[in-house]
């Protein structure tokens, strides 16, 4: 499905492009999903989702989201918020004919909210990468080809090395905590996927209880089929074929002082995750 957490603002309100290249609101697939889930897309529904998001789906709420029982007011907001996602996931499954839907959102707080609706039916794939590589990547300037004139974000998010390190710590510690609370979680290292992509995908497939074998090629190349993904990496919009390899440019291009800063801030979590 892509990064569904961004659907409400970027797709419904800003009218950005679907992964197929069509404007989201003109895409026949998402038109069918919207009709199935909500009777059609509306700015009012998107505004409601964004308002609820601000009140529950933030890292600062995660300590309370980790509780077994939520305070009544928070529980009510989480119920309403995740209800929108439940309707969206269910409609996507029906329209696509899929047994499993994958939300590529990378927000631990959203997983914390969904935990209270789905329990053990929620599966989290926790993808982790060396924080110094992440800091280097988040410092790059990268346009978003799917953006429109109305979009608030015309480039991918950029963070300073210090901010990137703090964000890396917070998200990964939150996902570790969710796993401790019983959320079924599979941790995958970016570096392992880069060196053994098909084996890693097979592991993820098994974790999601997907039947059958993946169509694995003899090398690390992959053809990208047409997609209706929401938001996500710009390469989804600009490439139809890729070769999977580890990007190690940070090892030579990340400045020494930035590498040192990120290393210091992330030291305890980094070592815990094997970096």
- Quick: pLDDT tens for 73-123: 999 999 999 999 999 999 999 999 988 899 999 899 999 999 999 988 899
Sign (positive or negative) of CA dihedral 193, 107, 24, 77: positive
Kindly state the percentage of the chain with pLDDT values over 90: 65
pLDDT at 223: 77
Selection from 118, 120, 89 nearest residue 103 by Cα: 89
Q: How would DSSP label each residue in 108-139? A: HHHHHHHHHHHGGG--EEEEE--HHHHHHHHT
The conformation of residue 182, written as its DSSP 8-state character, comes to T
Per-residue pLDDT at 35 exceeds 70: yes
Give residue-wise pLDDT tens across range 107-165.
Answer: 999 999 999 999 888 999 999 999 999 999 988 877 776 767 677 776 667 889 999 99
Domain segments of the chain as ranges: 4-272
- Per-residue pLDDT tens digits for 162-201: 999 999 999 999 999 999 999 999 999 999 999 988 889 8
Closest CA to 137 of 242, 221, 248: 248
Please spell the DSSP secondary structure of 227-241, one letter per residue. Answer: ---BS--THHHH-SE
Kindly tell me if the per-residue pLDDT of 266 is higher than 90: yes
CATH topology classification for 4-272: Rossmann fold (3.40.50)
Q: What is the pLDDT of residue 19?
A: 86
- Helical (H) or strand (E) element with 176: helix 161-180
Res 211: pLDDT: 73
pLDDT of residue 131: 97
| CA separation for the pair 95, 98 (Å, rounded) | 8
Which contacts qualify for 89-92: CB closer than 8 Å, 24 or more apart? 89/1, 90/37, 91/33, 91/34, 91/36, 91/37, 92/1, 92/33, 92/37
Digit-coded pLDDT (tens) for 209-262: 887 666 666 677 777 777 888 887 766 666 777 788 899 999 999 999 999 999
16 backbone dihedrals φ, ψ, rounded to 5°: -70, 170
Q: What are phi and psi of 30, to 5 degrees?
A: -75, -25
> Tens digit of pLDDT for each residue in 41-79?
999 999 999 999 999 999 889 899 988 889 999 999 999
Residue 68: its pLDDT value, please? 84
Quick count: other Cβ atoms within 10 Å of Cβ 268?
Answer: 10
C-alpha pair distances (Å), 131 with each of 54, 68, 135, 169: 27, 31, 6, 9
The torsion defined by the Cα of 226, 219, 106 and 35, in degrees rounded to 10, comes to: 20
Cα dist. 264→125, 130, 165, 172, 259 in Å? 26, 13, 9, 16, 9
Question: Which token pair is 77?
Answer: 């907001």
pLDDT of residue 154: 65
DSSP secondary structure letter of residue 17:
B
How far is 189 from 130, CA to CA, in rounded Å? 9
**Per-residue pLDDT at 141:** 73
């Amino acid at each position: 499905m892509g990064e569904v957490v961004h659907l409400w603002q970027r797709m419904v309100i800003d009218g950005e492009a679907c992964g197929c290249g069509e404007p989201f609101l003109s895409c026949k697939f998402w038109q069918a999903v919207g009709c199935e889930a909500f009777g059609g897309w509306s700015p009012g529904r998107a505004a409601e989702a964004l308002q609820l998001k601000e009140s529950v789906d933030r890292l600062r709420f995660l300590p309370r989201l980790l509780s077994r029982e939520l305070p009544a007011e928070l529980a009510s907001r989480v119920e309403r918020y995740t209800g929108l996602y439940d309707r969206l996931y269910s409609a996507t499954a029906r329209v696509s004919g899929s047994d499993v839907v994958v939300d590529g959102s990378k927000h631990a707080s959203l997983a914390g909210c969904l935990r209270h609706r789905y329990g053990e039916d929620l599966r989290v794939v926790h993808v982790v990468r060396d924080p110094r590589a992440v800091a280097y990547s988040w410092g790059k300037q990268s346009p978003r080809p799917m953006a429109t004139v109305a979009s608030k974000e015309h480039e991918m998010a950029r963070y300073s090395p210090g901010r990137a390190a703090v964000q890396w710590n917070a998200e990964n510690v939150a996902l570790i905590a969710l796993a401790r609370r019983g959320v079924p979680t599979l941790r995958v290292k970016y570096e392992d996927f880069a060196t053994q992509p098909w084996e890693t995908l097979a592991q993820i497939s098994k974790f999601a209880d997907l039947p059958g074998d993946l169509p694995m090629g003899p090398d690390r190349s992959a053809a990208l089929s047409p997609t209706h993904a929401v938001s996500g990496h710009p390469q989804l919009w600009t490439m139809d074929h890729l070769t999977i390899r580890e990007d190690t440019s940070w090892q030579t291009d990340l400045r020494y002082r930035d590498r040192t800063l990120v290393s210091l801030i992330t030291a305890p979590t980094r070592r815990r995750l094997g970096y």
